[in-house]
Structure 1
Amino acid sequence: MTPADLDARLSAEFLEILGGFAVAEGEEGFPPGTRTVLLLGPREPGFWPHLLAQPEWDGAPDPVDRWSRRVVGRLACDLGAKALFPFGGPPYHPFYAWALRTGRCWPSPVRLLVHASQGMLVSIRGALALRDEVAVPPPVAQPCETCAAPCRTACPAGALGAAGYDLPACHGWLDTDGADCLTGGCLVRRACPVSATYARMPEQSAYHMRQFHR
C-alpha cells in the first residue's frame, strides 16, 4: 500500500496520521519486527457525523473504542501490521510517551498533551506497528514556546495547572457548576489557541466529557 493509498483509506474513515516514529530493531515494548509506528486520530471536519453513522453506534457500551478496533484493526491486517490501542488494559501501551516521541506532541503547561495541529483536543484512536521503515510526518516547533498559555488559568475549579490534575476538584465542579464544560468540552482544552483552529464539534467533546464524568 502506497502512502497515497494509506491516506485515502484513512480519509474514508475520517482518520489521519497524527505523527510517527522509527523503532530500532529489537526494541522492547513493540510487536516483534516493528520498524515504524504511526499514531492515528480523527480527521476534521466530519469525524463525528461519520462515527455516529457507524454500526457500533448501537446503544451498547464503548462505541468509539469498538469502532476504533474494527477500523484500525482491519487496516492493520491489510498492511500486514499490528494494531495497538490506548484502551483495553491494563496493561496499557504508553501512548503518551509515544506521542511525545513523534515530535508533533508535547506536554502543555498544564501537562495535558498538546498536538501541533489539534492542540489539546487531540484524540489518539489507535496506532499501526509496521514492519517496514516508512516516512513519518516531520517534527515541528512546539507551539507552547511562543504561547501566552491561557490554559494555565482557564479552569474555573483550579483543577488543572502546572502542579498537575486535581481530579476530585474537577468532578466536584462538574457536579455543581460545570454545565459549560459538560456541553462544550473542558475549558482548559478549549483555551489552547491551537485547539481553537481545530474543527472538532462540541458534540464530540460533550460525549467524551459525559463518559469521563460518569
Structure 2
Amino acid sequence: MRGMIEEITAALGTNGLILRGGFLFPDHEGAPHGASGASAKSVLLVGQAGAAPWPHFLRWQQQQPQAIANPLDTWSRQIIGDVAREFGARAVSPSDKPYLPFHQWAVRAEGLRPSPLGILMHPRNGLWHAYRGALLFEEEIALPEPCEAIHLCDTCVDKPCLKSCPVDAHSTDGFAYQPCLAHVRGAGGGPCRAGGCLDRNACPYGTSYRYPAEVQAFHMAAFAGL
C-alpha cells in the first residue's frame, strides 16, 4: 500500500498537486460511497502548498477552445479524476453538491486549526495552501495518525491579519462578507483586486509559499464575481 501512496504522490506531482494526508472512516460514520457505490473506508486529501499548480493550470487553460466557467475547479476535477481512475478511487471536489465536509476532513487529515481568517493555519505553509479534492477508496489504507500541528496563531501576539483590511472584514466576530465584497468591487478596492486580501498577506508565517500577485488576483476576481 505504501507503494501505491508513492505512485499517487508521483502522479499528482506532475501537475503540482500533493497529498494532504488522510484517514479511515469509522464504521458508524456513514461515509460517502467509493468508485463502485460501496461505502468508502479511506480518504486521501489532495491539494497544494504555495502556487505550484499554477503554471500547469495556465497551460491547460490556454489549450481550451473557449472560456469556461470555474476553470480552476474544472482543471482540478480533471487531474484528480484521472488519478482516481488510475488507482480505483472515486474523486470528489469541495464544490460538489451536496457538499462534503472537506473542512472537517482537512482538520482530521493534518491536525490543523483555523486562523482568525478561517483558513486553516499550516505550520510550514502558513495560509498559503489549499485543498482541491479527495480520493475515496473502498479499502482501508494504512496511514499514520496526524500529529497535532503547532498552531502558529497561538504564538502571534500582534495579529496583523485582523488589522490590515480597510473595512475590518475580519474580526473575532467572524467574516463581514458584504462589506468585504463591496470594498473589493468599489473604487478603493484596487490593491485587493490586484494583489489579494490585505489581511491574508499581512500574516507573517509561510511567506515563502505566498501566492504570486497574479494568482491572488485570479482568486479575488472569482470571489467578487469580477
Q: Which runs of 4+ in 1 moved over 6 A?
A: none
Q: How many residues align?
A: 213
What is the aligned counterpart of 2:134 among 127, 137, 156? 127
Alignment of 1:59-208 (within 5 A): 59-89=67-97, 91-130=98-137, 131-136=139-144, 138-139=146-147, 140-148=149-157, 149-174=159-184, 175-208=186-219
1:20–1:117 Cα change, 3 Å? farther
1:208: Cα distance to partner? Answer: 0.8
The alpha-carbon deviation at position 9 of structure 1 amounts to 0.7
Of 177-186 and 147-156, more deviation after overlay is shown by 147-156
Q: How high is the sequence identity, in percent, across the aligned residues?
A: 33
Structure 1 spans left out of the alignment, 5+ residues: none
Deviation at 1:74, TM superposition (A): 1.2
The DSSP-based 3-state class of the residue aligned with 1:6 is helix
Deviations 1:12-63 (A, max 9, x none): 0100122322211352142244222221112445421111001458422111
Give the match's secondary structure for 2:130. Answer: coil
Point out where structure 2 has 5 or more consecutive residues left out of the alignment. Answer: none
One-letter code aligned to 1:170: C
Q: Which residue of 2 aligns with 1:15?
A: 17
Partner of 1:190, secondary structure, is helix
Equivalent of 1:27 in 26, 29, 53: 29
Partner Cα separation in structure 2 for residue 185 and residue 154 of structure 1:
12
SS of the equivalent of 2:165 reads: coil
Give the greater-gyration-radius structure (CA). 2
Superposition deviation, residue 178 in structure 1: 1.5
Q: Deviations over 1:109-148 (max 9, x none)?
A: 2333323333223221101112232325732222222123
Secondary structure of the corresponding residue to residue 131 of structure 2: coil
TM-score, normalisation: structure 1: 0.89
Q: Does 1:53 align with 2:55?
A: no
Q: Deviations over 1:133-164 (max 9, x none)?
A: 23257322222221232212122210111101
Tell me if structure 1 keeps the 8 A contact 2:20–2:46: yes
Deviation at 1:198, TM superposition (A): 0.9
SS in 1 for 2:129: coil
Decide which moves more: 123-132 or 96-105.
Answer: 96-105
SS in 2 for 1:28: coil
Partner of 2:6: 4
Task: Tell whether the 8 Å contact from 2:167 to 2:180 is kept in structure 1 after alignment.
Answer: yes
RMSD: 2.1
Residue pair 1:39, 1:127 contacting (<8 A) in 2 also: yes
1:41 maps to 47
Is the Cα–Cα contact under 8 Å of residues 112 and 120 in structure 2 kept in the other structure? Answer: yes
TM-score scaled by length of structure 2 = 0.84
Name the SS for the 1:128 alignment partner: strand
